[in-house]
Amino acid sequence: MIARRSLDTVLSSDLKEIQLIREYELIMLNYSEDKQARLERVMAEMDSLKLGKLRVRSRRFLASWVFRTYLLQLENCQVV
């Protein structure tokens, strides 16, 4: 659930480009074959807007965000 909450936080924008990246990431987070047609539509729209580099950068940022969030949670836990 950390990844989902972080994804919602990082990609919470009204910009069409960010919404497409968010939709792509959500599909990939819970991928199944029944989502393939939707995934292809999102990827085609991302390609038409040339969002490949932005998606990679947002993925890196999201990964570091999740990792930092996880570390903060560990720091706040008291081991007995």
Which tens digits make up the pLDDT trace of 14-35?
888 888 888 888 898 889 999 9
- What is the rounded CA–CA span in Å between residue 30 and residue 26? 7
pLDDT at 40 over 50: yes
Question: Would you state the pLDDT for residue 7?
Answer: 61
Q: Is the CB of residue 18 less than 8 Å from the CB of residue 62?
A: no
Question: Would you state the pLDDT for residue 11?
Answer: 66
- The predicted-structure confidence for 61-79, as pLDDT tens digits, reads as follows 777 777 777 777 777 775 4
